[in-house]
Structures are given as C-alpha cells and as structure tokens.
Amino acid sequence: MTYDPDNIFARILRGEIPCHKVYEDETTLAFMDVMPQVDGHTLVIPKAPSRNLLDADPAVLGPLMANVQKIARAARQAFGAEGVLVKQFNEPAAGQTVFHLHIHVLPRKTGEDIRPHAGKMADHGLLAQHAGMIRAALES
C-alpha cells in the first residue's frame, strides 16, 4: 500500500483542482463531495498524506476527528437534520475509490433516501450554495 501524491484529493490540497470549500485550518480541509449521497455531503481530509486510516499517523487523527465533529454539527444545523452519518472506507475491498484519507459527513433526516455512493455529479451552483450554508453555520 503506497500513497500516490497525484491522487485527486492531493491535487485539491495543492490547489491544482477546485473544490467547494467548507473549512480549512493548518491540519484539515473540508469540502463538498461532488457526487453527494444527500444534500450537504461533506468530505473532511487531513493535509498530511496517508492512503487511508490504516497507514495514517495516529497524531493526525485527533485534530481530524475534532474537525469532523465541528463539520458534523454545522452540517446538521445548516440542513435542519436530525442526525449525521459519519463514514470512512479503507482499500477497494471496503469501497474506497480515492486514496487519500477522508471522512464522509452526511446530514440525515428520518426516512430520507440516500443516493448511491460516488453516483451522480451534482450541479456546481447547488454545491456552492450548500458549502455556503455549512460555512454560515460554522460562523454562527
């Protein structure tokens, strides 16, 4: 298992590919998933390179999960959700498709359908609007 420095999230971190940014600090970047399973589906990634949870430096995980909590609370507020699904995949056998550690944050409402994983590309105007809603909740 090796880390490919040209994976798509590494390229987002280097600013080579755009994203709909929700939050950034010295350790972490959060942005909208372009194929959201629900409105508000956000990805939280460490800036430090690792393929997934299995090879990550444990020192990275504390700040990362503190930021996952921050984004989960803001996404719940922004989307009026009752709950939040947090999930993370390791290696293709477990469903991982992008090989830079990332945590999925999905605001959830009872009975609301969940769309397929890495399914349909969302409208960029809508993603920008959703990112703005979560940013506003983070600032409130």
Q: Shortest Cβ distance from residue 80 to ligand AMP (Å)?
A: 22
Give the nearest residue (CB) to ligand AMP: 35
**Contact by Cβ (8 Å): 91, 43:** no
Binding flag, residue 89, ligand AMP (CB under 6 A)? yes
Binding flag, residue 56, ligand AMP (CB under 6 A)? no
Binding flag, residue 7, ligand AMP (CB under 6 A)? no
**Residues with Cβ within 8 Å of residue 129, at least 6 apart in sequence:** none
- Helix 124-139 and helix 58-78: axis angle, to 10°? 100
* Positions marked catalytic: 102
Binding flag, residue 66, ligand AMP (CB under 6 A)? no
One character per residue 23-52, x = contact with ligand AMP (rule: CB under 6 A) = ----------xxx-------x---------
Distances (CA, A) of 127 to 5, 30, 131: 26, 13, 6
Binding flag, residue 8, ligand AMP (CB under 6 A)? yes
